[in-house]
Amino acid sequence: MPAPREELAPRAVTDRRAALARLDSQRRCLVMGVVNVTPDSFSDGGRWLSPDAAVAHAHRLVAEGADILDVGGESTRPGSRRVPADVEIDRVLPVVRALAGSGTPLSVDTVHAETAQACLAAGAAIINDVSGGLADPEMATVVAAHGAPYVLGHWRGDPATMNDLAVYDDVAAEVRGELTTRIAAMTTAGLDPALVVVDPGLGFAKDRQDDWQVLAALDDLLAMGHRVLVGASRKRFLGRLLAGPDGSPAPPPERDRATAAVSAIVAAAGVWGVRVHDVPGSADAVRVAAAVAEARRQR
Catalytic residues: 235, 275
Distance CA 128, CA 140 (A): 12
At position 33, the amino acid (one-letter code) is: G
